Amino acid sequence: MNSRRRFLSLTAAGAVASSAWAARRAELRFNEVEARIARRDFRDLTREDLGTPALILDEEIFNRNIRHMAEHSKSVGINVRPHVKIHKCPEVSKRQVALGAIGVCCATIAEAELFSASGIKGVLWTCQPAGRNKIQRTADLAKKDPTFRAVVDDPRTVDLLEEAAAAVNTKVNVVVDCWAGLERHGCPTGEPALALAKKVDQAKHLKFAGVMGYSGAASHTKGWENRRKKSQEHVVPMVATAEMCRKAGLNVEIITGGSTGTYNIDKEFGLTELQAGSFVFMDTAYIKIGNKSGDAMYSDFGTALTVLTTVISRNHRNIASIDAGNKAMLKPTDAVKGRPDVVVKNQGAEYGLLTWTSGPEIGLGDLVEIYPSNLDMSVNVYDRIYVARGEKIVDMWPIMGRAGAPQR
């Protein structure tokens, strides 16, 4: 087989170019590629060797993103406990911990079990356990990992957790989750949250560990000043509640919340740590929220993740079908790497359509990289992240929260 595929060049000009570097080496058969990846031999691998659709992470942009967050947190004096929900990949978190992250936040008990088992200390499960399965697993994880923390927003959960923790003779660290703008979770701030915190503190097998409030409404608010106002509105009552807890003699170890959009805002309002997650990869929706200096684009973090696809049909003028549809991304994308002029027109289950009016041709078999407009929904349909250093594929990180968990 000698049909060398071309890929959209990553140069500023965005011209379609053949990969001269790849052309210099012998082509590998698909099963040899798989065998090489299995033994972690990435020598000479390129995008052209991969099956598509596939997730590609630009190593340089990723490293820049995680370094920027680490440096910011050190310079302003706020901890980072990054959320894993967008990547479910312990390899990502290990690199953040190496740069000073104090743990991770998880959206599901399966993620919490996985990240704890992968050696990460300081796992915070940001969703209240409910139902026998999750309550028992919370107590079991607390027994295995004393650095694990769970959250509650309801006194009934406190009773059930106390019972489950007593049954396995352990103590669960519990953070009180306060309302911070989202209806989906959080106990009302002020007296109700204080009463809940006292109830946790009095439970024999629970340890009150602090207060949480996630202002998801602030995170994607456009314009930095608007975002700051929204964050202030949602975070200040939660931090005031933490202060009430302190005054009542409770030990508030952490005041946790925040997001990628508010990472350079929330220290001012009293959070002790940030739960930001998306900044590691960024998506095309997030970069439109605008930055502190007034630019429409949020340039603090770069878009590091793409979906690599192949052009699979090319019969109509300036229209190319690609092999990435809804099953490959779940939410429609809107941006093609290196070709801002190309529009992603619609997305069926298995197909996407690219259209353009001028500019270089996109031919049958060409490789095209598209940016996800939503990270969670895109990463969630893959088992692997391929790490790219320029043209080379230099690593593969399993998305273990997807494939490795027995139960979400």
Ligand X SMILES: Cc1ncc(COP(=O)(O)O)c(C=O)c1O
CB nearer to ligand X: give 52 or 219: 219
| Shortest Cβ 148–ligand X spacing (Å) | 16
| Shortest Cβ 112–ligand X spacing (Å) | 13
CB nearer to ligand X: give 209 or 393: 209
Q: Which stretch binds ligand X (CB under 6 A): 19-27, 116-124, 212-220, 363-371?
A: 212-220
What's the rounded Cα separation, in Å, for the pair 153 and 31?
50
| Shortest Cβ 131–ligand X spacing (Å) | 19
| Shortest Cβ 278–ligand X spacing (Å) | 3
Residue 1 contacts residue 27 (beta carbons within 8 Å): yes
- Interface with ligand X in residues 249-308 (CB under 6 A): 259-261, 275-278
What's the rounded Cα separation, in Å, for the pair 153 and 178?
7
Query: Phi/psi zone of residue 92: left (φ > 0), alpha (ψ -120 to 50 degrees), beta?
Result: alpha
| 126 counts as binding ligand X under rule CB under 6 A | yes
And the tokens for 301? Answer: 């973090």
What's the rounded Cα separation, in Å, for the pair 76 and 319?
49
CB nearer to ligand X: give 275 or 306: 275
And the tokens for 5? Answer: 């595929």
Number of residues that bind ligand X (CB under 6 A): 15
CB nearer to ligand X: give 105 or 328: 105
SS3 state of residue 288: helix
Nearest Cα residue to 50 out of 281, 307, 283: 307
CB nearer to ligand X: give 168 or 217: 217
And the tokens for 321? Answer: 């079908």
| 179 counts as binding ligand X under rule CB under 6 A | no
SS3 state of residue 119: coil
CB nearer to ligand X: give 111 or 323: 111
Query: Phi/psi zone of residue 400: left (φ > 0), alpha (ψ -120 to 50 degrees), beta?
Result: alpha
CB nearer to ligand X: give 37 or 178: 178
CB nearer to ligand X: give 139 or 178: 178
What's the rounded Cα separation, in Å, for the pair 194 and 187?
10
Q: State which of residues 65, 128, 219, 231 lies at the interface with ligand X (CB under 6 A).
A: 219
| Shortest Cβ 392–ligand X spacing (Å) | 29
Q: Which stretch binds ligand X (CB under 6 A): 68-76, 79-87, 130-138, 241-249?
A: 79-87
H or E element at residue 237: helix 224-247
Q: Rounded to 5 degrees, what are φ and ψ at 211?
A: -130, 140
Residue 213 contacts residue 180 (beta carbons within 8 Å): yes
What's the rounded Cα separation, in Å, for the pair 275 and 9?
35
| Shortest Cβ 375–ligand X spacing (Å) | 8
In sign, the C-alpha dihedral spanning 231, 237, 242, 246 is positive
- The H helix count followed by the E strand count for the chain is 13, 19
What stretches of 77-172 show up as alpha helix (H) in DSSP? 90-98, 109-117, 132-144, 155-167
| Shortest Cβ 258–ligand X spacing (Å) | 7
What's the rounded Cα separation, in Å, for the pair 5 and 311?
10
| 105 counts as binding ligand X under rule CB under 6 A | yes
Q: Which stretch binds ligand X (CB under 6 A): 8-16, 81-89, 202-210, 385-393?
A: 81-89
CB nearer to ligand X: give 86 or 197: 86
Q: State which of residues 214, 224, 281, 351 lies at the interface with ligand X (CB under 6 A).
A: 214
CB nearer to ligand X: give 85 or 137: 85
Q: Which stretch binds ligand X (CB under 6 A): 45-53, 59-67, 211-219, 235-243?
A: 211-219
CA 66 to chain centroid, in Å, comes to: 12
| 83 counts as binding ligand X under rule CB under 6 A | yes
| Shortest Cβ 40–ligand X spacing (Å) | 30
Nearest Cα residue to 304 out of 63, 13, 68, 97: 63
| Shortest Cβ 113–ligand X spacing (Å) | 18
| Shortest Cβ 385–ligand X spacing (Å) | 17
Residues making contact with ligand X (CB under 6 A) = 83, 85-86, 105, 126, 214, 216, 219, 259-261, 275-278
